[in-house]
């Protein structure tokens, strides 16, 4: 019988790549979707026709219990979150509820449905749980590069909520013997990335300027550095983590770091444009507290899981610029578009 996976955040970037990967691996894939008329669900229905959908919300404990009871998954991937860092200052409480408390509700749903208590721990054949932890937990970094033992110093309500979810996942593993792991993933991007994140904002900006649809691109802090990889590679890592004999946490990243300025240079360069003619620095886009430098040490994932990234930073930027040139030249709308590449 096919193994069954339940994914929260199926309408997001990572949910789509993970669902594709698991379908290729022969899984029966279920996606949790929220709302009574969520417009992003049509995107999932078009791209991922073999994915089954179940209604539920990370804010609603009962709905998660019902979803786990209905799907009877072998693996649960908790990707659902308020994931845009600036929004976490504007809606800090909602971020804590979805991105932080949502992890507790999902773990509780698994625990209750599996009949696990402190005295009767999880046995073999239990549901395996993956939590989408983030390099934002490192925040004001204590060392570079960052590995699984680097202390956390989150710099946003989002980072704090992720840190709660991370420690809670570890705690359920230790308290109940559950197979619960966190992937500490560094920034990963693709042509399916939300338009609010800097890589996609830049690739869309470049495409608009190249096609004569805009004449400037307003950005915030150009000096921040990130370790950017391709989302498809990172979805593969999530699955690999849940196949390991022992439940452990892993850092996933490329080990290279680039500044936003270097990203901009590469993206405009890919379209044959000089960025300095178009980019406007806007103080209003700076954050109350910035994460200045992220750079992964993914050695553990490489040696224990055999995971390697396959797409370089330069290839990723070129892929995103090309995809957005094609999208906009074809009259597509990145905010409405229901056909993902």
Please name the residues in contact with 281: beta carbons below 8 A apart, sequence gap of 6 or more: 218, 219, 220, 222
Check binding of 9 to ligand NAP (CB under 6 A): yes
Least CB distance to ligand G4F at residue 227 (A): 8
8: left (phi over 0), alpha (psi -120 to 50) or beta: beta
Residue 21 to residue 91: CA distance in whole angstroms: 33
Query: Which range of residues in 26-34, 206-214, 284-292, 307-315 is near ligand G4F by CB under 6 A?
Result: 284-292
Residue 122 to residue 120: CA distance in whole angstroms: 7
- Kindly determine how many residues on this chain lie close enough to bind ligand G4F according to the rule CB under 6 A: 22
Least CB distance to ligand NAP at residue 305 (A): 17
Alpha-carbon distance values, 164 to 10, 69, 96, 97, 99 (Å): 22, 26, 9, 11, 9
Residue 295 to residue 315: CA distance in whole angstroms: 18
Query: Which range of residues in 14-22, 39-47, 215-223, 295-303 is near ligand G4F by CB under 6 A?
Result: 215-223
Residue 106 to residue 52: CA distance in whole angstroms: 19
Residue nearest to ligand NAP (CB): 12
Among ligand G4F, ligand NAP, none, the one that 201 touches (CB under a kind-dependent 5 to 8 A) is ligand G4F
Residue 250 to residue 269: CA distance in whole angstroms: 34
Cβ distance to ligand NAP smaller for residue 58 or 107: 58
The verdict on whether 136 is a catalytic residue reads: yes
- Active-site residue set: 134, 136, 158
Q: Which residues bind ligand NAP (CB under 6 A)?
A: 8-15, 34, 38, 40, 57-59, 79-81, 83, 98, 132, 134, 185, 187-188, 194
Residues forming contacts to ligand G4F in the complex (CB under 6 A) are: 83, 85, 134-136, 186-187, 196-198, 201, 219-221, 224, 226, 260, 285, 287, 290-291, 294
């Amino acid at each position: 019988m096919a193994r069954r996976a339940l994914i929260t955040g199926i309408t997001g970037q990572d949910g789509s790549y993970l669902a594709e990967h698991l379908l290729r691996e022969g899984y029966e894939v279920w996606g949790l979707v929220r709302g009574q008329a969520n417009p992003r669900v049509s995107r999932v229905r078009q791209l991922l026709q073999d994915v089954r959908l179940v209604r539920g919300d990370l804010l609603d404990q009962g709905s998660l219990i019902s979803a786990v009871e209905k799907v009877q998954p072998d693996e649960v991937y908790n990707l659902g979150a308020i994931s845009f860092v600036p929004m976490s200052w504007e809606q800090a409480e909602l971020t804590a509820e979805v991105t932080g408390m949502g992890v507790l509700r999902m773990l509780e749903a698994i625990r209750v449905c599996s009949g696990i208590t402190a005295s009767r721990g999880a046995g073999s054949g239990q549901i395996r749980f993956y939590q989408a932890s983030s390099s934002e937990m490192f925040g004001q970094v204590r060392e570079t590069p960052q590995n699984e033992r680097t202390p956390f110093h989150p710099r946003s309500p989002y980072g704090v909520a992720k840190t709660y979810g991370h420690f809670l996942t570890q705690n359920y593993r230790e308290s109940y013997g559950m197979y619960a792991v966190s992937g500490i993933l560094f920034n990963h991007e693709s042509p399916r990335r939300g338009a609010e994140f800097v890589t996609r904002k830049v690739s869309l900006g470049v495409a608009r300027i190249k096609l004569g649809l805009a004449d400037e691109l307003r950005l915030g802090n150009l000096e921040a550095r990130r370790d950017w990889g391709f989302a498809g590679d990172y979805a593969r890592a999530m699955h690999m983590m849940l196949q390991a004999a022992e439940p452990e946490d892993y850092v996933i990243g490329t080990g290279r770091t680039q500044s936003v300025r270097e990203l901009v240079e590469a993206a405009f360069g890919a379209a044959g444009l000089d960025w300095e003619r178009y980019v406007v620095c806007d103080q209003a886009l700076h954050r109350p507290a910035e994460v200045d430098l992220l750079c992964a040490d993914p050695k553990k994932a490489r040696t224990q899981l055999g995971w390697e990234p396959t797409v370089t930073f330069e290839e990723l930027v070129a892929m995103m610029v090309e995809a957005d040139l094609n999208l906009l030249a074809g009259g597509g709308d990145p905010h409405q578009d229901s056909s993902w590449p």
